Structure 1
Amino acid sequence: MKFSCLLPLLALVALGSPVQAMNMELSKLVSDDQAVRQTRESAADSSVRDYERRATVLRMLREGKVVEPIDYENAALIFQHGSTPEEYRLAHALATIAAALEPERRFAKQLKRVSWDRLHLSMGRQQWFGTQSLKDPATGAFAYPPNDPTVTDLQRSMLDQSPLIPTPKSN
């Protein structure tokens, strides 16, 4: 999916939209998205459904149906379950818009951090906020990869993040 021309459109829609009710179709997509994560559905089936939900959200964005802060937050949640840097980048942009439109939206701020970390990990970089654990294919155990040491707790606090709890160093 190509998103390069979508970001300016998102900004225009976010800044120039009249007050409307929450997008119920998008809300249903989020309910479905979260329900799948509570079941033992196969990864392949889950991946196909995630792709379909992202395609639907892209259509809604193009049609101007993502309007309210909650809509942007919901769209960000769908895209943060993507698998490519572009999808995580769009998730981050959507969460950023939600938080900018309604600064008290705590979940939007959380999605900003989660999508930023996923974006960084997907590009082979270290995460900033310590939100993502990775599964070791050999043991099946989950562990948090190292965080970017150049990002300070002061910088994290400016982005509504608590100081990181130190993680054990690998040998």
Structure 2
Amino acid sequence: MRLILPAFVIAAVLLVSGPGRAQDPTPSDNPEMAAMLEADQAVRHGMTPERLRDRAFLQNMIAEDAERRRRTRALLEAGALRTARDYRAAAFVFQHGSTPEDYLLAHSLAVAALARGDSESAWIAAATLDRYLQMTGKAQIYGTQTRKTPDGPPTLDPYDRDLVPDSLRTALGVPPRADQDARLAALNAAPAPPVPAPPANANGPDGS
């Protein structure tokens, strides 16, 4: 006895398994997002204390950072960021934000990159959480953030050193506590940069 299939069943089978059915391609990294990460890192390459005292440079960098965050947010909401590299790049852009929400979003982006198999996003996942915690008045837990206050030396505080063990820091690409303490000691032992002397005629030719 021959089995006769209804026409709609045959059509459904052809649509699902036919040789002409296009397969979803593997998503590619977003080139605009990659370019924004490159710009974000380039402006910070070789940063010196003198550069940080340049008000015009800082104002320009802050404005460019804000524009990169605005554009990254637009790409994210449009579904244009789909790969692990896209999410890692976006995490770095928002890590250089100005609000706790920026840092929390950066952390979420880094976690998304990790979920897509990008092990290089481990450190930025830890760093974004530390920065969010400190910006909300809490102690960091990994030790990725060094702060310099106007009237004090560089410090890791507030820092809950005991919440996570060094094994977890190592798993996330963060140096162990002993290495952190050694680096901090070296920073505090370094001589302070000299304050530039004012021009000889700063107060007028008669010194007044």
> TM-score, with normalisation over the residues of structure 1?
0.78
Tell me the CA shift for residue 59 of structure 1.
0.5
Q: 1:162 to 1:32 in 2, by over 3 A?
A: closer
Identity rate, percent: 32
The equivalent residue for 1:33 is: 40
- Partner of residue 177 from structure 2, selected from 152, 158, 164: 164
8 Å Cα contact 2:138-2:158 kept in structure 1: no
The equivalent residue for 2:105 is: 90
8 Å Cα contact 1:121-1:127 kept in structure 2: yes
The equivalent residue for 1:115 is: 128
Choose 1 or 2 for highest CA Rg: 2
The equivalent residue for 1:65 is: 80
| Matches for 1:1-171 after TM superposition, within 5 Å | 19-38=26-45, 40=51, 42-102=57-117, 105-138=118-151, 141-153=153-165, 156-157=168-169, 160=172, 161-165=174-178, 167=181
Q: 2:108, 2:25 → 1: CA distance?
A: 20
> TM-score, with normalisation over the residues of structure 2?
0.65
Q: 1:128, 1:80 → 2: CA distance?
A: 17
| Consecutive unaligned residues in structure 1, runs of 5 or more | 1-16
The equivalent residue for 2:199 is: none
1:124-164 alpha-carbon deviations (Å, 9 max, x no partner) = 1110100000012125x432224214513167358534532
Aligned length: 150
State the SS of the aligned residue for 1:125.
coil
| Consecutive unaligned residues in structure 2, runs of 5 or more | 1-23, 185-208
Q: 1:142, 1:107 → 2: CA distance?
A: 27
- Larger RCO: 1 or 2 (CA < 8 Å, sep 6+): 1
